[in-house]
Chains A and B, each alone.
Chain A
Amino acid sequence: MLREFCQWLYDSTIGTSIRESIWVFPIIETIHVLGITLLIGTIAILDLRLLGLVLRREEVSRLASQILPLTWAGFGVMFVSGFLLFWAEAAKCYANPAFRIKLLLLILVGLNPLVFHLTIYRSVLSWNEQLVTPLRARLAGFFSLTLWGGIVCAGRAIAYFQK
């Protein structure tokens, strides 16, 4: 099922034109990396604050409300450009181990803030100003940083496994 879908995307007019154009693919790739920079750069600030490493005098909730719009903007750019890249190479990505690992890590990195917001972040007002946040908040920051790092590495590795 999935394999047929990937093949269908790969053979579609749009997928083929992105793949066969000399400039379109690298340009989308560059936009993808810029989107990732915005996404990871901003989320890393929040993660590092949860770990008590930067902006320690800033309230966590105030930092989050100012920084998350930028993170979402980066996510939007990354997602759209990433999907276009996938569209062009879908059939090759399907069997690519680095691509599979990256998707798995993306699911995990999506679950992390979900759990964070549904649990420890509900009580944010009680630890908003603490230099060192509760253990579960620090764990969320740690997992976010490691998972996003893994996603960058797996993403780069896709090109090495693309046949």
Chain B
Amino acid sequence: MFMLHVFQWLGNSPVGIFMQQSTYAFAVTEMLHLLSLSILGGTILIVDLRLLGVGLRSQSAAALDRELKPYLIGSLTVSVLTGILLLSEEPMKCYYNEAFRLKMLFLALAVFFYFIIQERLFQREPSAGTNLLAKAMGVVSLLLWLSVGLAGRAIGII
């Protein structure tokens, strides 16, 4: 029930009303959402592919992660913020949309996996990127983010 109230409040907030009434706001926000997604997806791909032994092999996965983290966090922030704006345009439709619920679930799992589990691996094994554990982590992370993307695309279809 609590979330329902939050969604209703979002839809009735000044931001929600602006998004609903403006002709271009939704389209422009969606473009920003996509732009930040390509950076976010790109940085995640680079690190996960490196865990699988593909791509930038002259760097360790942990070093790559350290270098790319500002871009990952920055683009994640922009996509969440633009995502909230997109949500405020039709919160009730999203609330009852199963694809939206799945997307939020996968997003929470993916973020948790990256910041809590993968980070631990990078801290414990700075040269990670060759063993089976590292490969498994790369696969799990890729699958989680892929599910976020697929569920996200499905919001507009179902």
Contact = CB atoms under 8 A, between A and B. Distances in A.
Contact of B38 (A48, A55, A67, A152): A152
A45 B149 contact: no
B121 to A, nearest CB: 20
Q: Interface residues of B toward A: which range?
A: 20 to 34
A34 interface: yes
B148 to A, nearest CB: 12
A34 B142 CA distance: 12
Interface in A36-93: 36-38, 40-42, 44-45, 48, 54-55, 58, 62-63, 66-67, 70
Nearest to B24: A160
B31 to A, nearest CB: 4
Interface residues of A, number: 29
Contact of A62 (B27, B41, B58, B71): B58
Given A37-B38, A41-B41, A156-B27, 19 more contacts: A26-B153, A30-B150, A30-B153, A33-B149, A33-B153, A41-B39, A41-B43, A41-B45, A54-B67, A55-B67, A58-B56, A66-B58, A67-B55, A70-B54, A149-B35, A153-B35, A156-B31, A156-B34, A157-B31
Interface of B: 27, 30-31, 34-35, 37-39, 41-46, 49, 54-59, 64, 67-68, 71, 146, 149-150, 153-154, 157
